[in-house]
Amino acid sequence: MSTEQQTVAEKPSAKRIRRTAEEAQRLILDAAEKRLAEQGPEGIRLQDIARDVGISHPAILHHFESRDGLVRALISRATAQLRDKLFSTIPDITGEEQDTHSLELIESAFEALSDRGTARLLSWLLLTNSERTKPVNPSAELLQDVSERLHSQRVRFSEEKETPAPDHEDTVFMVMLTAYAAVGEAIMGRDFYQAAGLAADAETAHRFRGWLAALLERHAIEPYKQTGKQGEDHTDGKKA
């Protein structure tokens, strides 16, 4: 046997990495999400994602059946993660550190919808108006769920402070305003910042999100901080 033949014969074969179905799906979704955030919807190409993960193109089809299936799974995961994050934060917005929690709420929405590219993908799917992609949009259910959870907290807060309960539609509009802002930033944020004479960078985005959080905080909470002041003689601080 020649030296060359011996070298080929002794060369170890590449080890196949065994993964569970859940782990493989997670890695594929992670790679797809990374490309979505960096390149937008056009970056979700199965062959490129397969190469990123180190698997074959058919392996992705095995787990998600098609590109549309991968897109649906990607949006569903992002929506579920956003719901969990928002629901864990909403109960704290009427607490002692509501300013911090309100900003966390806004940052969570913008991070999921804008920074990770989910809003761009949803917008692209809705604009294509394809029958096969219509079931992909879970945003309506999420908006309703978040609105109901937030409104129940506002009602509870008003009851504790013995002030009039907020209007349900008012809470819905607050949630819609946040969603509109996050989607708008995702699609045209840089252009809008530049058009307004601002730097199109992360610092400007952070300041805007903080401003929006403070605006919504004042609207949502301030009217119910008047407890003890109704019927009070403000000249001497005694009840009328």
Please count the structural domains in the chain: 2
What's the pLDDT tens digit per position in 182-221? Answer: 989 988 999 999 999 999 999 999 999 999 999 988 887 7
Whether 124 shows a pLDDT value over 60: the answer reads: yes
Residue 4 falls within a domain, yes or no?
A: no
**Residue 144 belongs to a domain:** yes
- Residue 11's CB is within 10 A of a number of other CB atoms, namely 8
Give the C-alpha separation, 228 to 214, whole Å: 24
Mean pLDDT of 118-139: 66
Is pLDDT above 70 for 19? yes
Q: What is the pLDDT of residue 165?
A: 86
How many angstroms separate the CA atoms of 154 and 167, rounded?
10
On whether the pTM is more than 0.85, the answer is no
Task: Give percent of the chain above pLDDT 70.
Answer: 75
- Which of the 8 DSSP states describes residue 134? G
DSSP 166: P
| Residues contacting 56, CB < 8 A, separation 6+ | 50
Say whether pLDDT at 102 is over 60: yes
| Domain boundaries, position 46 | 20-65
Mean pLDDT value of segment 108-120: 83
Same domain (yes/no): 89, 143: yes
Specify the CATH number for the domain of residue 112: 1.10.357
